[in-house]
Amino acid sequence: MTITFEKLPGNLEELKAMPQASLDQPEYGAALFVAVMMHYMVNKEETFEMLDFLNGPYEVTPFQKQFLADRMADGDYVVRSFFNGTSPDNDYTPSMPYTIETEKGFDQEIDGRMRIFLKSSGADSKRYITMRHKPSTNQWFVEEQLILSMIRKPKSQDEWA
């Protein structure tokens, strides 16, 4: 499924106003995670508020905050790499409008969970976010993300380029 964003959210209100914020498809929450993380370098606290929304009944923990700080220490190029049009050669500059390709890991949910795979233009294999279904609201929330691991450096930062 291709998810398109004309604009990325800058705060919780903007996030909630987005059509994908219905979270009625597991791909929506996974793609929104990437969109929200683009705001991390601008304002961490607003990003955490938006992540709390995507996490459903769970708040972002101090451990998760530290994990994100470690992963984002070199900048947001890892996050940008999940948008279409990016590559190490163009320093992971996404094409407009922002689009993300998502792929279900399996066709049915297992124990209320589903993996959504995302392709990073800086990695050889797809990364995934585990989404968890909440039947009472028919929404899918981020349970675990494994997308922010190392990728190839942007050409402008690669000492071997």
pLDDT at 81: 98
| Strand ordering across the sheet containing 2-5 | 2-5, 98-104, 113-118, 127-134, 139-146
Q: Find out whether 26 and 133 touch, Cβ atoms under 8 Å.
A: yes
Q: Which residue has the tokens 């900048």?
A: 75
**H/E/C letters for each residue in 16-69?**
HCCHHHHCCCHHHHHHHHHHHHCCCCCCHHHHHHHHHHHCCCCCCCHHHHHHHH
Q: How many Cα atoms occupy the beta-carbon half-sphere of 18 within 13 Å?
A: 27
Q: Which residue has the tokens 């993380």?
A: 37
Q: Find out whether 123 and 30 touch, Cβ atoms under 8 Å.
A: no
**What are the domain boundaries of the chain?**
2-154
In this prediction the pTM is 0.95
Report pLDDT digits (tens) over 131-161: 999 999 999 999 999 999 999 999 998 888 8
Report pLDDT digits (tens) over 68-80: 999 999 899 999 9
